[in-house]
Amino acid sequence: MARAATTTDVFNAIAEPRRRTIIDILARGDQPVGQIMARLRIAQPAVSKHLGVLRKVGLVSVSKQGRQRLYRLSALELKPVHDWAKKFEEFWTHQLDRITDRAEKKARERTQTPPKKGPP
């Protein structure tokens, strides 16, 4: 089965780690391509390609300010990803609860066991 194009939906678009990094960068505020390039340490054509994918699925918009183009995150478009991942929160919470219970039990056992006395 052929893999879906990166521009078919948000899930495919964010599958690429550099695009997720771009989303992280833009979550802090609007940025020009040069700033994104500096943070990613990749060439402008590659950054533009990733931004193009993110724009096509609606995650990023662009506006002109003078000679500069500023990219902005459209975080609302991430809601389907959030809603999907939220379904699995009970599994994470359950695991964290189990870890917490074990740690608390170990701590109680340590405080209830009297220290062993060595030879005088």
* Helices 44-56, 17-27: crossing angle, 10 deg rounding: 80
Options 1.10.10.10, 2.40.100.10, 1.10.357.10, 3.30.499.10; CATH for 10-74 is: 1.10.10.10
Q: What is the pTM of this model?
A: 0.71
Q: How high is the pLDDT of residue 6? A: 73
- Domain ranges, ordered by start, for the chain: 10-74, 79-110
Angle at 14 between CA 8 and CA 16, to 5 degrees: 105
Name 65's bridge partners: 68
Q: How high is the pLDDT of residue 120? A: 59
Residues of the chain with pLDDT under 50: none
Q: What is the distance between the alpha carbons of residues 4 and 90, in angstroms, rounded to a whole number? A: 29
Non-local (6+) Cβ contacts of 67 within 8 A are none
Q: How high is the pLDDT of residue 26? A: 96
